[in-house]
Structure 1
Amino acid sequence: MTATESAVAIARAAARAAADKIAKDIVALDVSDKLPLTDIFVIASAPSERQVNAIVDGIEEELIKLDLRPVRREGRSEGRWVLLDYAEVIIHVQHEEDRVFYALERLWKDCPAVDLQLETKDAPAGSGAAAE
């Protein structure tokens, strides 16, 4: 089983919104084979609690334009690790220190990456280069 097209579209929209708020190391993992609850984890990080919350705000604002609201939201008040559950996609926005400590990518290393189609700053527009 692989992630649905709608899950991939949600993950890409969330990743673009996170990138617009200068999130770091944005990745998405297709966890659909390992986890029956969701299709994709999106993981992003920031150097401060304030920026974690700004990224979360940006993601929620972008996804509400698609008429999507989180089923569940956790960690907002602390601003260290915010989880946004959109059913098909679960978004983790973590403080850089927490991301290193919990190492979600290592826990889910057997899951394939999803191409978020984010352009790197060095890539020319329209090149389709993916940010890792």
Structure 2
Amino acid sequence: MESKQLVDLVAKACDDKRAEDIVILDMNEVSLIAEYFLICEGTNERQVQAIAREVKDVADQQEINVKRMEGFDQARWILVDLGGVVCHIFHRDERNYYNLEKLWGDAPQLEVKL
């Protein structure tokens, strides 16, 4: 599966668990870390964990290897590394503090297709 298809699939998985303010950054010209960053937020720790679980489950169903998942226990910022796509799931209180959209402001934002 290409990274563009994967980021759209991950966006839908996040939306299915009612993630808010979903943003996709095209990192191709900006970073070697990944092709896309997907950033979203949940309103509480339980929702943040549910979003991360859904992303992992969808990846597993598509036989996509989750390279790494960090921050699950604290559920303040969970990072799900899918290779070409890195999904950042924030607790609402943490998202504004880290402000990845501003940090990676050179990266174009893509339309989220749900």
The within-5 A match list for 1:6-85 is 6-85=2-81
Aligned residues: 114
Consecutive unaligned residues in structure 1, runs of 5 or more: 119-132
Whichever of the two has the greater Rg, that structure is 1
Letter of the 2:31 partner, please give it: L
* C-alpha distance in structure 2 between counterparts of 1:37 and 1:57, whole Å: 22
Bigger share in strand = 2
TM-score (norm 2): 0.95
Letter of the 2:32 partner, please give it: P
> Which structure has more RCO (C-alpha within 8 Å, separation ≥ 6)?
2
| Runs of 4+ that moved beyond 6 A | none
TM-score (norm 1): 0.83
Consecutive unaligned residues in structure 2, runs of 5 or more: none
What is the root-mean-square deviation of aligned Cα atoms in Å?
1.1
Deviation of 1:69 after TM superposition, in Å, equals: 2.3
CA contact (8 A) 2:38 2:87 kept: yes
Cross-structure match for 2:101: 105
